[in-house]
Structure formats: structure tokens, C-alpha cells
Amino acid sequence: MMNLTILGSTGSIGCSTLDVVARHPDKYRVTALTAQCRDEVLFEQCVNFEPRYAVLLDKAAAARLAQKIAGANLATEVLCGVEALERVASLPEVDAVMAAIVGAAGLHPTLAAARAGKKILLANKETLVMAGAVFMDAVRASGSVLLPIDSEHNAIFQALPHHYSGNLAASGVSKILLTASGGPFRNTPLSELQNITPEQACAHPNWVMGRKISVDSATMMNKGLEVIEAHWLFNAPADSIQVVVHPQSVIHSLVQYVDGSVIAQMGNPDMRTPIAYALAYPGRMVSGVEPLDLFKVATLDFEAPDFESFPCLKLAYQALRAGGTAPAVLNAANEVAVAAFLDRQISFLAIPRLIEEVLAALPVVAVNTLDDVLSADAAARKVTLERVRQMISPVFTA
């Protein structure tokens, strides 16, 4: 029986994880569930899975949840705050941690899990984008097992040699091909992107995701962050990671070998597949996902990414090559810019402009400790917020 902590259980990845877990009650036990503020959803999950702990970051939400838990006579203990997240991520009885908190907020508990030597199912890409060196050092030092959950990185993990050592050349790998759907605006002329609304940006054609990740997909920053994540996961330089736009989202990524072979992982666009693969690794188990019908798919298309219409992807490559604190600055500026766009304060095309300005304004510093990362993150957020205030647009005000 594997004991699980699910960080971000009320989000799309967390809910999909619980769906898979519910199909295998003889194999998995939920020890802890966590969320930001959605106490009603978390309460229903507590009723269904009876975890030992439930954590909320919002104090008022935690108080409401505690009252509901008591009224339902559940044995779940309600905790609150960042320290509580770190605690449930490193509990001695926990075997595996699903790290599915979106954004920089997931960094501390995910790092706590790594330092505690847990099996980590990593769905929080910002942990590697912000603090890749620090996090990977912690994984190696503790002997933690790291399994990627992003469909693209999970596909690469499956397509690489089973005992991949972190050396592409020694494994006969010439290139990693990271697929991208292209998002909802793949064919939208650049002249029309200025007036894109948050509702349009969040309407992804293939995947059901949270609002922030949906906007990242629309700007292709999500793919840029995944390039940086792939660098750390597979020890791959920027020039060995190529983004390929594949609108059908059927091939989730590919690995190209020196002998001319290209190995792909395919499947329906459903996150339960990589989740089930990581939970059962090195075996496999039923996920609830229907098998791919190749006759229904019929056609697979591939395109080169448009760096002019989607400059966020180019900025991510630049940050990766710059190294040091540049990826942390990129991530922080993007989080603030996306939040401003979703709040209708700035336009869609202002997102990459802001990020580029902040990257140019702040120096790149070597990352030796987590404090280096957090300082860069705080500085980038401050500068980005200042620039948002200067450029607040009335475009979306109702």
C-alpha cells in the first residue's frame, strides 16, 4: 500500500490523480490533501478519501473546513499555512508526493519532499524553472525518485532508454522533440492578438486546465517553461531540445536517436495516463483513459513554432541559455503579467513585452542557494508589478 500526499488536490491534476487512485483502493492510501482556498471541494475529497491531514493556505477557508470536518465526524486533521504544506510533503509515513500546486507556491513543499527522499510525481514545472540546480541537488542527495507528470516530459521519460543516466550522447540520443499543441491562437494573425480576452485565452482546444496554465499555453510560455524543465530533468542543453507544434496533441513528445530512429509516446490527451504511469512505475495500471483510436485520428500534423507571434517561447530559450537567476525572473514576471491579464489590467500582447523588459532590467546572478532564487523571484515580481501599474490599460474594463 502506497501512502500519498497530493499537493494541490482541488486543481485539475489533483482531481485526475484522485480519479486514478479511486480505481485502485488496494494499492494507494491518501494521507494528505492540500489546496489554496477551495474548502468546499476539499471537504468533498476528505469525505471520499478520509485523509489523515487536510491543508489550506487560506485561514478563513481552513476554519470553514475544520467546522465541516467536525460536523461530519471525520478523523481528518485540518492544518493551515506553508509550513503545514512542507510538513505533509515530508511525513515519515508518506511514500510519494504528487506536486501539483501551480506556480512558485509549490516550490517549498516540493523541495521539502525532495529533501525527505520521497518519490515525487512532479507536475509543478516552476520548481525546476526557478530552482532547477537546487532541486536536482536535493533529489540526488536524498536518493529521491523523480517522475515527471507533464504529458510531454512523461512521454520523453518513456521514450528514453529505461536506465537513462543523464547523458544524451552516451545513450545514443541526438535530440529531444518537445511537442506543443500551439494553443487556441496557433493560426491567429499577429494583428488580431492584441484584443484577445481572458475567456478566449482560457479556451484550450485539447486540454482542460486551470486559467493560469491555459494562458501560458495561449502565449506558448507553457512550452518555454517546459523547455527549461526538460533541461533539468534530462540534462539536455537548449540546442538539444526542439519544440514541434503538433495540433492534435496525440504524440506527446519524441526522442530522436543517432541511428535515425525516432521514438514517440502517443495517447489521448488525458492527464490520467502520465499520472497512472508515474504512480505504477516501473509497472503499468488502468488509468480510466480510452485507448487511442488511430483510425479516428487519421492525420497527424507538425509545424515549426512561430517565434514572432509567440515571443514567450523565444524568451524562455534566452533565459535558459543565460542560466543563473534568469529562469526565475522569467517565471516570476510571467506569473505577475498573466495575473494582470486575467484581471483585465493589461492586454494579451503586453505579457511578453513585460517579461522581456523585466529580464533586461534585472542582472543575472549565479544560483548557489534557495535564497538566491527567492531574492530574484521577489525582485522580478516587484519590478513587474511596478510596470503593470504604469501600463494598466482600459481595454478590458467593463
| Long-range contacts, 237-241 (Cβ 8 Å, 24+) | 238/317, 238/320, 238/321, 240/168, 240/173, 240/174, 240/175, 240/176, 241/175, 241/176, 241/178
Q: Are residues 31 and 98 in the same domain?
A: yes
- pLDDT-derived band at 346 (thresholds 50, 70, 90) equals very high
The 10s digit of each residue's pLDDT in 164-184 is 989 999 999 999 999 999 888
The pLDDT of 183-208, averaged and rounded, is: 83
Q: What number is the average pLDDT over the span 109-123?
A: 97
> For residue 8, is it within any domain?
yes
Q: Tell me whether residue 222 is in a domain.
A: yes
Amino acid at site 3: N
Range 367-375, long-range pairs (CB < 8 A, 24+ positions): 367/131, 367/133, 367/134, 367/324, 367/325, 367/328, 369/134, 370/111, 370/131, 370/134, 372/325, 373/107, 373/130, 373/131, 373/134, 373/325, 373/328, 375/325
Q: How far apart are CA 278 and CA 346, in angstroms?
A: 38
How far is Cα 37 from Cα 158, in angstroms, rounded to an integer?
35
Per-residue pLDDT tens over the stretch 204-245: 666 666 788 889 989 999 999 999 999 999 999 999 999 999
Whether the upstream peptide bond of residue 282 has omega within 30° of 0, thus cis, is: yes
Q: Is the same domain home to 55 and 12?
A: yes
Quick one: residue 143, left, alpha or beta (phi over 0 = left, psi -120 to 50 = alpha)? Answer: left
Q: Does 129 fall in a domain?
A: yes
Rounded to whole angstroms, how far apart are CA atoms 53 and 88? Answer: 8
Residues 104 and 190 in one domain: no
Q: Is 56 domain-assigned?
A: yes
Q: In this structure, are residues 261 and 188 in contact, taking their beta carbons and an 8 Å threshold?
A: no
pLDDT for res 208: 60
Same domain? 56 vs 141: yes
Domain assignment present for 317: no
- Indicate the number of domains in the chain: 3
* Whole-number Å distance between alpha carbons of 292 and 298: 11
Q: Are residues 86 and 164 in the same domain?
A: no
Q: What is the mean pLDDT of residues 77-105?
A: 95
- Going by C-alpha positions, the residue among 67, 77, 20 that lies closest to residue 40 is 67
Query: Based on the domain organization, do 189 and 113 belong to the same domain?
Result: no
pLDDT surpassing 80 at residue 103: no
Give how far the C-alpha of residue 159 lies from the chain's centroid of Cα atoms, to the nearest Å: 20
pLDDT tens digit sequence for 240-298:
999 999 999 999 999 999 999 999 999 999 999 999 999 999 999 999 999 999 999 99
Query: By mean pLDDT, which of 126-140, 203-217, 378-392 is the weakest?
Result: 203-217
CATH code assigned at 348: 1.10.1740.10
Render pLDDT for 284-340 as a digit per residue (tens, 0 to 9).
999 999 999 999 999 999 999 999 989 999 999 999 999 999 999 999 999 999 999
Q: Which of 46-60, 129-143, 206-220, 343-357 has the lowest mean pLDDT?
A: 206-220
Indicate if 215 and 336 belong to the same structural domain.
Answer: no
* pLDDT (0 to 100) of residue 187: 87
Q: Does one domain contain both 29 and 161?
A: no
Residue 122, domain member (yes or no)? yes
Strands 262-266 and 251-257 turn out to be antiparallel
Residues in the chain: 398
Residue 37 shares a structural domain with residue 59: yes
Q: Are residues 7 and 126 in the same domain?
A: yes
Q: Which helix or strand (DSSP H or E) is residue 87 part of?
A: helix 82-89
For residues 367-373, give the mean pLDDT.
Answer: 93
Section 369-388 average pLDDT: 96
Single-letter amino acid code for the residue at 313? L
Q: What is the pLDDT of residue 288?
A: 97
Among residues 297, 315, 347, the one where a domain terminates is 297
pLDDT band at residue 391 under the 50/70/90 scheme? confident
Cell numbers 521519460 correspond to what residue?
157
Residue 257 structural domain: 156-268+290-297
| pLDDT attached to residue 139 | 96
Considering 148, 173, 205, which residue would you say is the last residue of a domain? 148
As a whole number, the mean pLDDT across the chain is 94
- Domain final position from 90, 123, 148: 148
Specify the pLDDT at position 239.
97
Same domain, 7 and 143: yes
Shared domain for 13 and 126, answered yes or no, is yes
CA-to-CA distance for 167 and 251, rounded, in angstroms? 24
Closest of 93, 10, 90 to residue 56, by C-alpha: 10
In a domain, 41, yes or no: yes
Residue 44 belongs to domain with CATH number: 3.40.50.720
Express as a percent the part of the chain with pLDDT over 90. Answer: 86
- Cα 256–Cα 258–Cα 264 angle in degrees, nearest 5: 20
In a domain, 315, yes or no: no
Q: What is the pTM of this model?
A: 0.91
Note the pLDDT of residue 53: 98
- CA proximity to 387, closest of 367, 369, 362: 362
